[in-house]
């Protein structure tokens, strides 16, 4: 059986976050439909793709994410990672809304992880143990995107990937 090394915990967090943002009507999917590619572009984008999507996301609220660090401790089954989400919007109330929503969703340690694990679209190769907010910054005018405001939310995520009896990824 081929092991999928493309799977990454941050992508699973992103899927869950997007689903929750849409379900709670904080984002409207239809606003992010691209005629060029005939699909909805999820406005939670990795920092590496940010320049390519700047034009499409011009004036629209969106989130840019990146992984700060990743480490396995003595207990090598459990991975400890930090993810940074930078929220961009031209409207301060929209940033506050997303920030408060993420705070509500992700601050509850094992309860937040339980919600993630229960979300059906999360890969069954992962088991999340705890998620909590490591840092939130105030909303400030963005130096990167003119006219936008921005705020950062840093998540601390502990998870395991399912493994074979000899400890390799399953």
Kindly list the residues in this chain that would bind other proteins in the complex (CB under 8 A).
47-48, 50, 64, 66-69, 71, 73-74, 80, 82, 84, 86, 133-135, 137, 142-144, 152, 154, 156
The least distance separating other proteins from the CB of residue 112, rounded to whole angstroms, comes to: 16
- DSSP symbol at 56: T
The least distance separating other proteins from the CB of residue 71, rounded to whole angstroms, comes to: 7
The least distance separating other proteins from the CB of residue 135, rounded to whole angstroms, comes to: 5
Measured from the Cβ of residue 15, the count of other Cβ atoms closer than 10 Å reads: 17
Cβ closest to other proteins, residue 67 vs residue 125: 67
Cβ closest to other proteins, residue 122 vs residue 153: 153
Mode of pairing for the β-strands spanning 44-46 and 33-34? unpaired
Q: Exposure string (b/e) for 89-116, b if CB count within 10 Å is 16 or more?
A: beeeebbebbbebbeebbebeeebbebb
């Amino acid at each position: 059986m081929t092991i999928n090394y493309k799977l990454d915990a941050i992508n699973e967090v992103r899927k869950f976050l997007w689903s929750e943002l849409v379900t709670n009507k904080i984002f409207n999917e239809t606003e992010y439909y691209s005629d060029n590619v005939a699909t909805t572009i999820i406005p939670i984008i990795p920092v590496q793709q940010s320049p390519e999507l700047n034009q499409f996301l011009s004036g629209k609220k969106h989130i840019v994410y990146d992984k700060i660090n990743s480490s396995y401790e003595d207990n090598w089954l459990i991975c400890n990672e930090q993810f940074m989400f930078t929220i961009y919007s031209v409207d301060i109330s929209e940033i506050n809304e997303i920030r408060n929503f993420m705070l509500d969703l992700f601050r509850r340690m094992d309860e937040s992880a339980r919600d993630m694990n229960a979300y059906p679209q999360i890969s069954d190769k992962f088991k999340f143990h705890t998620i909590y907010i490591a840092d939130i910054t105030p909303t400030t005018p963005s130096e990167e995107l003119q006219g936008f405001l921005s705020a950062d939310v840093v998540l601390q995520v502990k998870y395991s990937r399912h493994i074979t009896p000899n400890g390799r990824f399953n």
